[in-house]
A and B are shown apart, each in its own frame.
Chain A
Amino acid sequence: MNGEPEKRWNVRAIVLLPYLWLAVFFLTPFVIVLKISLSQTALAQPPYLPVLDLAAGWAGLIEFAKELSVDSYRLLSSDLLYLLSYLKSLQVAAISTIILLAIGYPFAYGIARAPRGLQPLLVMAVVLPFWTSFLIRVYAWINILQRDGLLNDVFLRLQIINAPATWLSSDTAIYIGMVYSYLPFMVLPLYATLEKMDESLLEAAADLGCPRWKTFWLVTLPLSVRGAVAGALLCFIPIVGEFVIPDLLGGSETLMIGQTLWTEFFSNRDWPVASAIAIMLLALLLVPILVYERLQRRSLEEGR
């Protein structure tokens, strides 16, 4: 079947448009980021040097290559600010992912064990917030966490605290925001693996006298590892580069790397350093992204 020239031509024709689009608007930009990260800041428009002059031909290219510098990377490695920023991002992402697993697993498990007829509705209920604006969901927490917000109000009335506590502009607020925003990304892959699980395995374990907790530990948990890994990566990778949540809910002592990039770009107008930050962030996330892609390809192309 696949040998028919007509059909091969078909695939090529189908793929042409998205391929070109991604090559131009996804791949090329990274090459440009890499190039600019090797440039130097300049008071010019665009604010970096050297500018590649293709009209000058080969000589222009050599001239251009000579002027490239690793100054931005040298700055990144010498200034502690950037290192702390990367570490903070990894810390926030790691802790958030662990909390997400702890909350998301029982949630997904509960849905997968709910009556069959109810499950689509519950899945829908988890998906729905994912479709509403990210920005709105983060903003909703400002309403709650601010000094004269609802959380303090409730806590004061219940006399859990005596004076209004500061929730906003803290790491606690960042974690709340992250867990809240990324929960659907954790629950859905977990639910998908838990739901697909062969229930006769559990029955067999029960028939053979295995206690429920042990069945969970020996059968359910190992079988759901794939969903957990997918969910964890799906949360961890974007959280490392997150900007909106730490910017709106977090404090100003240690910035996450997404905020540092944003500041370098918009406030300091230092495009080469912003590009270098992006390249380093990409390098940091390369392994998790590749692992995620493998999982993705396997589940999509080799059937589920």
Chain B
Amino acid sequence: MKRSASLFNTLSVALGLAFLYLPITILVIYSFNASRLVTLWGGWSLVWYRELLHDVAVQHAAWISLRVAVLSASAATVLGTLAATALTRPGPFRGRLLFSGMAYAPLVMPEVITGLSLLLLFVAINVDRGFWTVVIAHTTLTMCFVTVIVQSRLIEFDRSLEEAAMDLGCPPFKTFLTVTLPLIAPAIAAGWMLAFSLSLDDLVVASFTTGPGATTLPIRIYSEVRLGVKPEINAVCTIMIAVVAVGTIASSLIAKSGAARRQRAALGAQI
């Protein structure tokens, strides 16, 4: 079969990519617009970025979001990796079906339900809502993504390497640390990155579970956006896009071509 790209195939890919990138590109360009009006191009300017330097509320929200994202992504990575490891081992344990059900369900659960149910839990056990409740909520929300990514890596890696180590007398825990962990490290890193960006992004679950003094960046942006488009928000969004883009490209450079491609395709099969 020829692999020559037909006109139709090329066109559908080009149009698809244009559709995905045009709105973001426009947003980024307009964050450098000197004019306050959206349609009026007033020349290139950094005025909205300068404005941000004085916006203490946005900075505070960004700092909270960043801390929440780092903490919850780290917790989610540990929990998700453990869950993935348990799910790929054949060993039986009580409630395996329930566990695998719980491990994947948050992936498609509407966020309003996850948010509401977590909030009602916090109220029921009388916990004051704030920073830590958002961290817990985001850990719960994002760990399933880590589970899926790490699990797809664990499935394709060569189990005989582990078995060889154990046959040579290496205890299981040490085998996991010295053989398994280095092999699945790229997937763990990718999982952490995804959890991090999902946490940084989440509005709905954070709105339900946050409390006084713990306004995250999306909550802040959302309250501004409801009042209409603001050039400052374009600038905030551009910075967030830049952070995520740099992070993603860097992590993909680390997890190099061949293995990374197979794994991404595998992730594609799951998400």
Contact segment of A17-25, A62-70, A75-83: A17-25
Contact segment of B45-53, B54-62, B181-189, B238-246: B238-246
Q: Considering the complex, give the chain B residue whose CB is closest to the CB of A200.
A: B1
B99 touching A15, Cβ below 8 Å: yes
Minimum Cβ distance to chain B for residue A86 (Å): 13
Q: Is the CB of A158 closer than 8 A to any CB of chain B?
A: no
**A10: chain B residues within 8 A (beta carbon):** 89, 91, 172-173
Interface residues of A in 77-126 (CB under 8 A from B): 103, 106-107, 109-111, 113-116, 119-120, 122-126
Interface residues of A in 121-164 (CB under 8 A from B): 122-129, 131-137, 139-144, 146, 148-150, 153
Minimum Cβ distance to chain B for residue A169 (Å): 12
Q: Is the CB of B161 closer than 8 A to any CB of chain A?
A: no
A32 touching B12, Cβ below 8 Å: no
A32 touching B1, Cβ below 8 Å: no
Minimum Cβ distance to chain B for residue A211 (Å): 14
**Given A109-B12, A136-B240, A33–B117 Cβ distance below 8 Å?**
yes
A275: contacting residue among B30, B120, B248, CB under 8 A: B120
B87 touching A300, Cβ below 8 Å: yes
Report how far A49 CA is from B58 CA in the complex, Å: 38
A304 touching B155, Cβ below 8 Å: yes
Report how far A225 CA is from B155 CA in the complex, Å: 23
Q: Is the CB of B212 closer than 8 A to any CB of chain A?
A: no
A281 touching B110, Cβ below 8 Å: yes
Give the number of chain B interface residues (Cβ < 8 Å): 111
A149: contacting residue among B38, B80, B137, B148, CB under 8 A: B38
Q: What are the interface flags for B93-131 relative to A under an 8 Å C-beta threshold, 1 for contact and 0 otherwise?
A: 101000111111111111111001110110110000000
Interface residues of B in 4-45 (CB under 8 A from A): 5-6, 8-13, 15-17, 19-21, 23-24, 26-27, 30, 37-39
B116 touching A274, Cβ below 8 Å: yes
B148 touching A189, Cβ below 8 Å: no
Interface residues of A in 252-287 (CB under 8 A from B): 258, 261-262, 265-266, 271, 274-275, 278, 281-282, 285
A26 touching B106, Cβ below 8 Å: yes
A residues in contact (CB < 8 Å) with B: 1-2, 6-8, 10-12, 14-15, 17-19, 21-23, 25-30, 32-33, 36, 46, 103, 106-107, 109-111, 113-116, 119-120, 122-129, 131-137, 139-144, 146, 148-150, 153, 180, 183-185, 187-189, 191-193, 195-196, 199, 202-203, 206, 227, 230, 233-234, 237-238, 240-244, 248, 258, 261-262, 265-266, 271, 274-275, 278, 281-282, 285, 289, 292-293, 296-297, 299-301, 303-304
Q: A22-B140, A241-B111 are in contact. List 18 more A-B contacts (CB 8 A).
A: A10-B172, A110-B11, A114-B9, A115-B5, A122-B17, A126-B17, A131-B193, A133-B244, A136-B240, A143-B26, A183-B20, A188-B267, A258-B111, A275-B120, A281-B113, A293-B101, A300-B87, A304-B155
7 nearest CB pairs, A to B: A241-B110, A29-B117, A188-B268, A11-B91, A107-B16, A15-B86, A106-B12
Listed by A's residue number, 19 A-B pairs whose Cβ atoms lie within 8 Å are: A1-B163, A6-B172, A7-B172, A22-B83, A29-B117, A106-B12, A107-B13, A110-B5, A127-B264, A132-B201, A133-B240, A140-B26, A184-B20, A187-B16, A192-B268, A234-B271, A293-B105, A299-B269, A304-B266
B residues in contact (CB < 8 Å) with A: 1, 3, 5-6, 8-13, 15-17, 19-21, 23-24, 26-27, 30, 37-39, 78-80, 82-83, 85-93, 95, 99-113, 116-118, 120-121, 123-124, 136-137, 139-140, 143, 147-148, 151-152, 155-156, 163, 172-173, 193-194, 197, 200-201, 203-204, 207-208, 218, 221-222, 225-226, 228-229, 233-234, 237, 240-241, 244-245, 248, 252, 257, 260-261, 264-271
